[in-house]
Amino acid sequence: MRVTLELESKFAHHNTLVLPYHHVDWVQAAIYNSMQQHVAQAVHDMGFPVDNRPLRLFAFSRIQGRFRVSKETIAFTFPIRLVIASPLKLLIQQFVNALVTASEFHIGPETCRLASVSVDDMAIETSHIRVRTLSPITVHSTMTKPDGRRYTVYYHPKEREFEEQILQNLLRKYMAVTGAPLLIDKASAPFRLRLKNEAKLHIVQYKSTIIKGYSGIFDIEGPPALLQVGWDAGFGDRNSQGFGLVEMAHHH
One DSSP character per residue, 101-143 reads: HH-EEEETTEEEEEEEEEEE-PPP-SSEEEEEESS-B--EEEE
pLDDT confidence bin for 252, thresholds 50/70/90: very low
Q: How far is CA 99 from CA 9, 82, 102, 103, 116, in A?
A: 16, 13, 5, 6, 10
Q: Does 91 or 77 have the greater pLDDT score? A: 77
91 or 134, which is more confident? 134
Contacts 24+ apart (CB under 8 A), 155-164: 156/199, 156/214, 157/193, 157/195, 157/199, 157/214, 157/216, 157/218, 158/195, 158/199, 162/193, 163/191, 163/192, 163/193
Distance between CA atoms of residues 195 and 217, nearest Å: 6
Q: Is the pLDDT of residue 61 over 70?
A: yes
Please check the confidence at residue 159 and state whether its pLDDT lies above 50: yes
The rounded distance, in Å, linking the Cα atoms of 230 and 191 is: 12
Three-state DSSP at 158 gives coil
Q: What's the whole-number average pLDDT of the chain? A: 91
Asked if residue 234 lies in contact with residue 142, where contact means CB atoms within 8 angstroms, the answer is no
Buried b (16+ CB within 10 A) or exposed e, 91-128: bbebbbebbeeeeebebeebebebeebeeeeeebeebe
Q: Residue 234: helix, strand or coil by DSSP?
A: coil
The reported pTM is 0.92
The pLDDT of residue 55 is above 90: no
CATH 3.40.640.10 fits 2-120, yes or no: no
Phi-psi bin for 46: left (phi > 0), alpha (psi -120 to 50), beta?
A: alpha
Residue 66 clears pLDDT 70, i.e. is over it: yes
The pLDDT of 91-110, averaged and rounded, is 90
Distances in Å between the Cα of 126 and the Cα atoms of 221, 230, 235, 238 are 9, 13, 17, 26
Q: Is the dihedral of CA 119, 14, 30, 231 positive or negative?
A: positive
26-44 mean pLDDT: 83
Residues of the chain with CATH 3.30.70.1900: 128-248
Task: Kindly tell me if the per-residue pLDDT of 20 is higher than 60.
Answer: yes
- pLDDT confidence of residue 56: 81
Average confidence (pLDDT) over 190-214: 95
Q: Regarding predicted confidence, which is higher, 53 or 238?
A: 238
pLDDT at 248: 97
Q: What is the mean pLDDT of residues 196-202?
A: 96
For the chain, give the percent of residues with pLDDT over 90: 74
Residue 54, pLDDT score: 67
Q: Which residue has the higher pLDDT, 232 or 33?
A: 232
pLDDT at res. 46: 63
Taking 70 as the threshold, does the pLDDT of residue 251 lie above it? no
Centre a 10 Å sphere on the Cβ of residue 74 and count the other Cβ atoms it contains. 17
CB 82 within 8 A of CB 7: yes
CATH 3.30.70.1890 location in the chain:
2-120
Predicted confidence at residue 37, as pLDDT, reads 76
- The sign of the torsion formed by the CA atoms of 183, 188, 189, 190 equals positive
Pick the CATH number of 128-248 from 3.20.20.150, 2.60.40.3080, 3.30.70.1900, 3.30.70.20: 3.30.70.1900
Task: Tell me how far the alpha carbon of residue 14 is from its chain's centroid.
Answer: 28
